[in-house]
Amino acid sequence: MRFYMPVRLFDEEECVKKHAAEIAAFGKKALIVTGKSSAFRNGSFEDVSGVLKDAGIGYELFSEVEENPSTDTVFKAKELFAEAGIDFVIGIGGGSPMDAAKAIALVLKHPEADIDYLYDKTKDPSALPVICIPTSCGTGSEVTGISVLTRHDKKTKISMVHMVFPTMSLVDGKYIRSASKSLIVNSAVDALAHMFESALNAKTDAYVHMTVSAGLKQWIKIKGVLTGEREASEEDRRLLMRASTLAGMSIAGCGTALPHALSYILTYDLGLPHGRAVGYFLPSFMAAAPQEQRDVLLKAAGFADVAELKAFLDTVFGRQEVPENVLAKTFEAVKHNTAKMNGVVFPVDENILHGIVYG
């Protein structure tokens, strides 16, 4: 067993401003990678740019990261900033900007990199230093080396093979004050799936279970916020962010499993948000798991059984109908993915996979 989480993590109020000196030590020029609007609404860009300006550090801004960022976006950033003298990259936002920041940091370090470089294990995986500042509460990308990118040429999402862990991450619950209810729900369900999938992953171990257990203890406390029983408090926001980070540590230890693999075509073909797409397969995946392990996880998250989990997801998302042709395409794609088929603690053949896909 091993536990590897090389990120210097700060989880506290006003952590960007409190750790200005550490940010300033990364170099003389930064590239800020973010989306089109949320970082400017929630105050995160203002905090980061203020710290850089106060320290006399120059920066460039790339605010064109879309939801489910594509390799095209990564290489657009490379083209724009290859000659800009960037010393480090700051990813601000949800999983999309943070994942894009990692890939951009990799290709800026390697001028010769093309799309094949991202998926070639023989290539040098070193990257410019990355700082991550999450402004959503689901992906845990601030503590993983994973960068999931949309491949339009393949019409799906694929993780690049190189691990690019942030050097430092700064987690502050205030950045989700202005987040929409739908963003919070999608993010929190993604975090829940990370923990369930990690605990049932073939590579799971005592250290993964440690972070899963700690994360679920945070997650269960915010269920009422997700179902609309109450408005989120500042403490709820801290718990949402912390659960997400602990869930990220969990997948950093072993990776995701079948619900994530199954979700990508739903996102690409139907435009479903990532959390909702993963959540679609989560009840049937849990139903297929060994009863003892399933019951422990469900209880830790506050669910009596799979039916209660499904009822919760129907409440927060509404019932989702997926066309037969999309489910068939998903089934065919994943049944040939040996790593995912063999990647859980219970045997999965085509019949079991069919049951997970079709519920």
Residue 64 and residue 87: Cα distance in Å, rounded? Answer: 20
- Indicate the fold that domain 180-358 takes in CATH: Dehydroquinate synthase-like, alpha domain (1.20.1090)
Q: pTM of the prediction?
A: 0.96
Domain boundaries, the chain: 8-175, 180-358
Q: What is residue 89's predicted lDDT score, i.e. its pLDDT? A: 98
* C-alpha distances out from residue 100 to 18, 61, 146, 182, 209, Å: 26, 13, 10, 22, 28
What is residue 227's predicted lDDT score, i.e. its pLDDT? 96
- d(CA 128, CA 125) in angstroms, rounded, equals 10
Neighbours of 354 (CB within 10 A): 12
Specify whether the CB–CB gap between 229 and 173 falls below 8 A: no
Would you say 333 and 156 are in contact if contact means Cβ atoms under 8 Å apart?
yes
Residue 2 is predicted with a pLDDT of 84
- What is the C-alpha to C-alpha distance for residues 60 and 187, in angstroms, rounded to an integer? 28
Q: Are the C-beta atoms of 160 and 103 separated by less than 8 Å?
A: yes
The low-confidence residues of the chain, meaning pLDDT below 50, are: none
Of 177, 236, 212, nearest to 38 by C-alpha is 177
Domain with residues 8-175, CATH architecture: 3-Layer(aba) Sandwich (3.40)
3-state helix, strand, coil in the chain (%, to 5): 55, 10, 35
Quick one: pLDDT at residue 1?
Answer: 84
Tell me what pLDDT residue 351 has: 97
Which tokens sit at 307? 């039916």
**Topology agreement, domain 8-175 and domain 180-358:** no
CA distances to 136, 137, 164, 306, 315 from 312, rounded to whole Å, are 21, 18, 35, 10, 5
Cα–Cα dist 178/236, whole Å: 14
